Amino acid sequence: MVTAEVAEAVPAQTPEDRFEAVIAAEQRIEPRDWMPDAYRATLIRQIAQHAHSEIIGMQPEGNWLTRAPSLRRKAILLAKAQDEAGHGLYLYAAAETLGVDRAELTEKLISGRQKYSSIFNYPTLTFADVGVIGWLVDGAAICNQVPLCRCSYGPYARAMVRICKEESFHQRQGFELLMTLMRGTEAQRRMVQDAVDRWWWPSLMMFGPPDADSPNTARSMAWRIKRHSNDELRQRFVDMTVPQAEHLGVTLPDPELRWNEERGGWDFGEPDWSELTRVIHGQGPCNTQRIERRRTAHEDGAWVREAAVAHAAKRAAEHAAAAAAAEQHTEQENGK
In the complex, what is the shortest distance from the CB of residue 93 to other proteins, in angstroms, rounded to a whole number?
5
Closer by beta carbon to other proteins, 1 or else 212: 1
CB-wise, 8 or 261, nearer to other proteins?
8
Of positions 21, 218, 221, 316, contacts other proteins by CB under 8 A: 316
**Number of neighbouring beta carbons within 10 Å of residue 166:** 16
**Which of these segments, 30-38, 228-236, 287-295, 326-334, binds other proteins (CB under 8 A)?**
30-38
Q: How far is the CB of 161 from other proteins (least distance, A)?
A: 5
Residue burial 173-196, b: 16+ Cβ < 10 Å; e: rest: bbbebbbebbeeeeebbebbbbbb
CA distance 212 to 210: 5
Q: Which amino acid is at 120?
A: F
82 binds other proteins (CB under 8 A): yes
Distance CA 332, CA 325 (A): 11
Q: How many residues bind other proteins (CB under 8 A)?
A: 44
Residue from 31, 184, 249, 301 touching other proteins (CB under 8 A): that is 31
Q: Does 101 bind other proteins (CB under 8 A)?
A: yes
- Number of helices (H) and strands (E), helices first, in the chain? 15, 2
Report phi then psi at 266, rounded to 5: -90, 130
Kindly state the smallest distance separating residue 146's Cβ from other proteins, in Å: 7
Please give the residues from 139 up to 168 whose contact with other proteins meets the rule CB under 8 A: 146, 149, 154-155, 158-159, 161-162, 164-166
CA angle 271, 290, 195 (to 5 degrees): 45
Angle, helix 154-182 to helix 186-205, in steps of 10 degrees: 160
Rounded distance, CA 87 to CA 160, Å?
Answer: 9
When asked if residue 90 is in the footprint of other proteins (CB under 8 A), the reply is: yes
Which residues contact other proteins (rule: CB under 8 A)? 2-3, 6-7, 28, 30-33, 79, 82-83, 86, 89-90, 93, 96-104, 107, 146, 149, 154-155, 158-159, 161-162, 164-166, 305, 308-309, 311-312, 315-316
